[in-house]
Amino acid sequence: MTSLHEVARQTLALVDLTRLETDDTEADIESLCRKAGTSFGPVAAVCVYPRFVATARRALAGADPAEEVRIATVVNFPRGEDDAETVVEAIRAALAAGADEIDLVFPWRELRAGNDEPGRRLVSAAREACGEHVLKVILETGELTEADLIRRAARIAIESGADFLKTSTGKVPVNATPEAARILLEAIRDSGRDVGCKVSGGIRTTRQAREYLGLAARIMGPDWISPSHFRFGASGLLDDLMATLGDSQAPAPDKDAY
């Protein structure tokens, strides 16, 4: 079994370090961006609300190009109930402010009610608005609950142009689970398309990360795992990774989780 130290080093480069609280301030986002460039290397991205994209861009300016941290933001978030026009306007504004990646909430309530078309229309419109920028589609798997619904959402998102399938917003009672991640990874494998997977919500320890990495390696192969294909959306995971790697300034790992 891969050691926790090795897992922590691999996971660090896959993290979308996330701050999505309604009372966030510019100072909070600046602090997040400072954390993103760790002594063991940078995370993959920071993920912030659209109003803070420009703040993140300023905070990350001047970083070594070899250690670039991408900027992700969310649209149709968190409820997934905006119309396509509103979503497209939000995407265009976020990209103009400096976003590199867009995390879009899928209209999962419509799918759960038996209607596939709103999801197809919304993801297709978002794909066009994103152009060459990365589009991650948040399926809210914990609210879809049934494996068949999760598979259908995954298939719709892939066929409509998603670059990544993402489990969750982190704003519902059930977020990322190994079972949901397995379904998304199998859908990606079976599609034959170059699509990534982002597990998000409730992942706080290196040991949890190891479970998801093992799952991805079994389904997609270990060489597939890289920031261009696999991400962890997390706010608390970084502290545990740093502690596992031996950063004396980081909080100690939560032993109860082990």
List 100, 166, 239, 240, catalytic entry: 166
171 annotated active-site? no
Domain contains 193: yes
Per the annotation, the verdict on 198 as an active-site residue is yes
pLDDT tens digits, residue range 23-41? Answer: 999 999 999 999 999 999 9
Query: For residue 84, is pLDDT > 60?
Result: yes
Residue 258 in domain = no
166 in catalytic set: yes
Residue 141 belongs to some domain of the structure: yes
What's the confidence (pLDDT) of residue 19?
A: 98
Tell me the mean pLDDT in the region 163-190.
98
Q: What is the CATH number of the domain that holds 223?
A: 3.20.20.70
Is the pLDDT at 20 greater than 50? The verdict is yes
Cα–Cα distance measured from residue 134 to residue 258, given in angstroms and rounded to the nearest whole number: 34
* Candidate list 16, 163, 198, 240, residue with the active-site label: 198
Answer whether 127's CB lies under 8 Å from 161's CB: yes
pLDDT at 248: 47
Which percentage of the chain shows pLDDT scores above 90?
A: 92
Domain that holds residue 29: 4-252
Catalytic residue among 103, 163, 239, 240: 103
* SS3 labels along 139-199: CCHHHHCCHHHHHHHHHHHHHCCCCEEECCCCCCCCCCCHHHHHHHHHHHHHHCCCCEEEE
Judge whether 257 lies within some domain.
Answer: no
Which pLDDT score is estimated for 251?
A: 53
- pTM (2 decimals)? 0.94
- Tally of domains within the chain: 1
